[in-house]
Every structure is written in structure tokens, then in C-alpha cells.
Structure 1
Amino acid sequence: MMMIPAWLCIGVVAFAVAFVLNRLSPKDLRWFNRLQRPAWLTFEGAIPWIWITIFICGALSATLTWQAVAPRQSAWPWMAGYLVLEVAVMAYTPVMCKLRSLRVGTAIGALGFFIGLALALAVFPISASAGLFLVPYLLWSPIGTYVTWAMIPLNPWDA
């Protein structure tokens, strides 16, 4: 029987979850694009590249965790932790846009950070490398959450 490599399984699941959860209607996109941004937000064009890097690092972290755990125990509970983190991360934009609420976006961003922190702390003893690959998310998540929070006074009708 041929086994599917862990990295391929993780990559396919991560892509599928991102594809399914990140569905925005034109109305949602219009709402999001018309929001006022802080004047200091000069790096908005880099944000998609930042997230691509973070997702690649997350997939590498999950793969390293799978490889470190699988010989001794089932890796599925660990993969469930990565899935919960990805769902929280991917819920940010569609839920915020559907509810038209920057406060909800800020709360989801903060929740994602704490899920990521808990996962990193749990993973680090198993694989330091896997834990380190979660650091980019842990560094970026508070920045993204702060940007959303800073947009609330600029868009009080969408808070």
C-alpha cells in the first residue's frame, strides 16, 4: 500500500480549508475595500506575501510535528490543533466581512493568536523546529490584529 507523504496531505488539507473558508461575495469585498485604513499602513501590498509565507511556515511546522510524533503515537490530535488554528485564521476575513464588524475581526485575530501560542507551546517540546516555524505567525498576528483595531475609530459605523 502506498502512503501519502505527510507534507502532501497537510498541504492539500491546508489549501482546501483556505479555499472553502475564504469565499467572499462582491458585496463583502466592496465593504472591506471601502474601509478607511490608518495613514501609517504603508505595507498593505505586502500583506498577501506575508500570509503566504506564514502559511508555508505553518505547513512546514505541521509536517515536522507529524514526523516527530508519528513513530511514537498518532499525529492526528496534533494535526487537529493545526486545523483549529487555520480555521481561526481563515475565519477572520469572511466572518468580519459578513458581520460588517471590525470588532469581530479584532476578536478573531486575538483568538487566533492565543490558539497559535498554545499550539506553539505544545509543539515546541516535541520539535523545536516545528515550534520555530510558528513564530512568524506569532509575530504577525498581533500586528494584523492591531491594524484591525486601529481601523475601528476610522470606521465607527463599521465597528
Structure 2
Amino acid sequence: MIQSWMVIGGVAILVALAANIMTPSDRQWFRRLRRPRWLTFEAAIPLIWITIFICGAWSAYIVWETAPDTNKTWLLMGLYLLLEVVTIAYTPVMFRLRSLQVGTLLGGTGLTICIILAIVVLTVSGWATLLLVPYLLWSPIGTYTTWQMIQLNPQDA
């Protein structure tokens, strides 16, 4: 029998793979952009996001196991999926459109979805909500960084 954590993890991995839909010229565009001087931790960002996605999947697992196969739980799973899709879309969509404004908009949208999700999940499980805190803390930093890059690269806004 397939366990719920396998399905949740599998879906998370499949969605995350979509972030790799970029061309070399997309990557080159992003590499040439100026960054804020205080951005000294850029190499750690992939590890930060991996941790956030693991916490998000774990949160979804707790919600599912708390009330499996109910309408509310299915709606919450849809909200978790929407959050991941918006978050994953940040890189390929921003790169393809070569627009830091689009990246800022997607970052802010992800934060808004996560706030809504955390509020609703709080009625189901405190632990599941606590696992969303890394996203709630990091997303504003990433969004602010992208916004700062607009100021440094106005031609790529």
C-alpha cells in the first residue's frame, strides 16, 4: 500500500523538477545581474529552500494524517500544492520573462498563500503550522532581495 508521505513527497519532488526548465541563456541572464552587497549567503539559498520544502511536505503530511480524506483536508492539500507551484514558478518564470518584477510578484504571492495556509492549518495542527514558519520567515527575505535587485538592475525590472 502506498503511504500518504510517499504521495506527498512524490508530488513535491515532481513539482520541484519543473524549476529546472531553463535554458543556458536564462541562467546567464540571471548570473550577470548585480546583487545587493549584503547578499553574502547566496550559495546557501538552495539548501534553505530544500529545508523549507521538506518542512512544507512534512506539514502537509501531518494535516493529511490528522483528518485523512475529508473535504477540508483535500482543500488544504490543494492549497499546499498551489503554494509549491507558485514558489517553484519563481525561478523559471522570472528567468524566461527576464523580469525581476515578476519574481517579486511571485515571491509576494507565495508569502500571501503561505500566510493564509498557516492560518487555516492552525485550526488543524499546531505542529503543521510551526513547520510553515521557515517559509514565512525566508520568503520575505527572498522577495526583498529580488526587489532590491530591481533597484540595482532597472533595465531588468
Q: TM-score with structure 1 length normalisation?
A: 0.95
User: AA paired with 1:13?
Assistant: V
Asked if structure 2 preserves the Cα contact closer than 8 Å seen for 1:22 and 1:90, the reply is no
- Match of 2:39? 41
Asked if structure 1 preserves the Cα contact closer than 8 Å seen for 2:62 and 2:128, the reply is yes
For this pair of structures, how many residues does the alignment match? 156
Structure 2 unpaired stretches of 5+: none
Structure 1 unpaired stretches of 5+: none
SS of the equivalent of 1:24 reads: coil
Map 1:57-96 onto structure 2 (within 5 A): 57-70=55-68, 73-74=70-71, 75-96=73-94
Asked if structure 2 preserves the Cα contact closer than 8 Å seen for 1:22 and 1:91, the reply is no
Closer, same or farther: CA 21–43 of 1 in aligned 2, 3 Å? closer
- Match of 2:145? 147
Residue 30 of structure 2 corresponds to residue 32 of structure 1? yes
User: AA paired with 2:105?
Assistant: A
Query: In structure 1, what is the Cα distance between the partners aligned to 2:87 and 2:45?
Result: 14
Whose helix proportion is higher, 1 or 2?
Answer: 2
RMSD: 1.1
1:104-154 deviation line (CA, Å, top 9, x unaligned)? 110110010000110010001101100110000000000000000000111
Asked if structure 2 preserves the Cα contact closer than 8 Å seen for 1:14 and 1:59, the reply is yes
Q: TM-score with structure 2 length normalisation?
A: 0.96
- Match of 2:52? 54
List structure 1 segments (4+ residues) > 6 angstroms apart after TM superposition.
Answer: none
Query: In structure 1, what is the Cα distance between the partners aligned to 2:119 and 2:74?
Result: 18
Identity fraction in percent? 58
User: AA paired with 1:142?
Assistant: P
User: AA paired with 1:104?
Assistant: V
